[in-house]
Chain A
Amino acid sequence: MDVILFTFFALVAIVGAVSLVLQKHPISSALSLVSVMVALSVLFLLLGAEFIAAAQLVVYSGAIMVLFVFVIMLLNAGAERESRKGGLAQFLGLPLTAILLVFASYVITQSMSNAKAVKFGAFTGGGPREVGWELFTRYLLPFEVTSILILIAIAGAVVLARKEID
């Protein structure tokens, strides 16, 4: 059951990611990205990371991507025209991607050589309580620094938006 579900949602994620790049229309690309996010959240759930799965669903596909779609609709962006293809990119694109993938999978298998297969329900430390505990004890400093970073970004957005109005 785990393998079937994993294969299915991994395939959905990969197909969505490829479609994100290949689609001509920005709305189609954005929706492909949404399907990737949803598939990822199911993969997180299969690993036992319940809270991260829910956060992925609420934050990425429920809020950020809605904003993306909203902006694309508001600007009424049409389909993209195909640009002149660079000769170098056409010939080297696929081989370089293949080399990158092989290299990445080699590094991962080498660095995690003693990793075991994950079974659904085997890992139970991914609930909201555990994540919250870790965030507010071990990772308190990074957590607070990130929140200040986000605050600065919000202030920056307000300043920029105000300049536009004046």
Chain B
Amino acid sequence: MDFILLSILKTAIAAPVLLGTLAYLVWIERKVLAHVQLRMGPSRVGPHGLLQPIADAIKLLTKEDFIPSYVNHVYYWLAPWLALMFAVTAISVIPIGPIVEIFGVKTNMGQADISIGLLLILGLTGMGVYGIALAGWSSNNKYSLLGGLRSSAQMISYELPMALAIASPLLIVNTLNLREIVNGQAGYVFGIIPNWNAVGGLQMFSFLIYLICAFAETNRIPFDLPEAENELVSGYNTEYSSMKFAAFFMAEYANIITACSVATTLFLGGWHPIIPNELGGQFIPTLICFFFAGVLFYHALNPARPSDRLSMGVIGAIILGLGLMFQVPVVKDLAQPLFWFASKAGFLIFVFIWVRGTVPRFRYDQLMRFAWLVLFPAALLNLLLTAFVVAAKSN
């Protein structure tokens, strides 16, 4: 019973945090894109538009849920929730920290710690395509259908190089359990360079191939052909409105979080710090927080607007407290791994948004040719070379 109780408790903590992150990812994406394009981004609702996600949620919840008369009702209703369900459940097997002990209870940070973690993520994200394909088909609209078809073709094509790219670091770490994969990357070469899969050697290419495929799997620019606005109106979600439409968006962001978390665990050493703790790695989170607090205090002392004197000072004090929290003995064991995992995954998510602001969309035939004639052979060659290296080392 302890296990069930603990799982419920962890889910009760993780689910609201995840949903909040999904909502605020929209805000972060809009802000980053705006600054890439020299705009301000959302700035009306709350300071710096910080309450925008809440306003969006209220709008989407209260909006009329219009269902066109010509759709296939069962699948039209089922599709967005299928997409969201598989996208969110895939996150449950990702370990965000080591095994910790809180109040005498020993538990792993993360929901489930299973021996086939990585395969389960591949399976669940593969199931996510049904949501999009069904949405396109049941909408009974040729633009939606084209979007759904493109999405399924694209996901099948890009799943192959992605699986091959994942397979080559697996040859090195020799396990499918995500926790053991992360622990296999612990330690430092020459005591300073992190022993991550993505740092040095062939696995850099695996990391690159995986990242490119992740863009395609999550339907992001430059591979967002399923919802190419200037060809397909809005693709598979053209006929959707209110919460069903929001479910597709939440599924897309949940998929991005999953893809970035998997990249972090497989290639970037999970929760291990970038500099060894003995050389001061454990002080980095505190120093970063102190830096930002210093910037905010500077602006509080030299305010551009009269209101800045209070707001900048208060937020600066909060961040200062956050920085001190990383050194409190009990909280430290929990907060430090979380910080490293979140900052690595967060950086990758930032790269996703950055690419969206920089790279134009592919044409459909280019997308397919790139997958089959460039990525697939490259991933295969990478796997073959890795296998040779591993075989040579073991002999």
Contacts and interface: CB of A to CB of B under 8 A. Distances in A.
A87 to B, nearest CB: 34
A67 interface: yes
Interface stretch (B25-33, B102-110, B148-156, B282-290): B148-156
B122 A74 contact: no
A31 B75 CA distance: 10
Interface string A54-69: 1101100111001101
B156 A57 contact: no
B149 A70 contact: yes
Main secondary structure of the interface of A (DSSP, over half): helix
Given A70-B133, A74-B149, A51 B127 contact: no
Nearest to A52: B116
Interface residues of A, number: 24
Contact of A66 (B119, B136, B152): B152
Most buried by B among A55, A61, A63: A63
Interface string B123-160: 11011011001101100000001001100110110010
A61 B156 CA distance: 12
B130 A66 contact: yes
A63 B120 contact: no
A73 B122 contact: no
Contacts, number: 75
Interface in B89-129: 114-116, 119-120, 122-124, 126-127, 129
A66 to B, nearest CB: 5
Given A61-B123, A66-B129, A73-B145, A50 B153 contact: no
Interface string B299-310: 000000000000
B34 to A, nearest CB: 36
A142 interface: no
Given A27-B137, A73-B133, A73-B145, A66 B123 contact: no
B325 interface: no
A69 to B, nearest CB: 6
B133 A62 contact: no
B122 A62 contact: yes
B314 interface: no
A127 interface: yes
Interface residue range, chain B: 20 to 34
B176 interface: yes
Contacts of B155: 66
A62 B123 contact: yes
A128 interface: yes
Interface string A73-85: 1101000000000
A54 B137 contact: no
Interface string A126-144: 0110000000000000000
Contacts of B124: 57
Nearest to B153: A70
Interface string A7-32: 00000000000000000000100010
Contact of B156 (A41, A50, A58, A63): A63
B115 A128 contact: yes
Interface in B338-357: none
A127 B115 contact: yes
25 contacts: A27-B75, A41-B123, A50-B115, A50-B116, A51-B119, A53-B116, A54-B119, A54-B120, A55-B119, A57-B119, A57-B124, A58-B119, A58-B123, A58-B126, A61-B123, A62-B126, A63-B156, A66-B129, A67-B156, A69-B133, A69-B134, A73-B133, A73-B148, A127-B116, A128-B116
Interface of A: 27, 31, 34, 38, 41, 50-51, 53-55, 57-58, 61-63, 66-67, 69-70, 73-74, 76, 127-128
| CB-CB nearest 8 A-B residue pairs | A62-B126, A57-B123, A54-B119, A58-B123, A54-B116, A70-B152, A50-B116, A73-B137
Given A27-B137, A128-B115, A128-B116, 15 more contacts: A27-B134, A34-B130, A50-B114, A53-B116, A57-B120, A57-B124, A58-B119, A62-B122, A63-B126, A66-B126, A66-B130, A69-B137, A73-B133, A73-B152, A76-B145
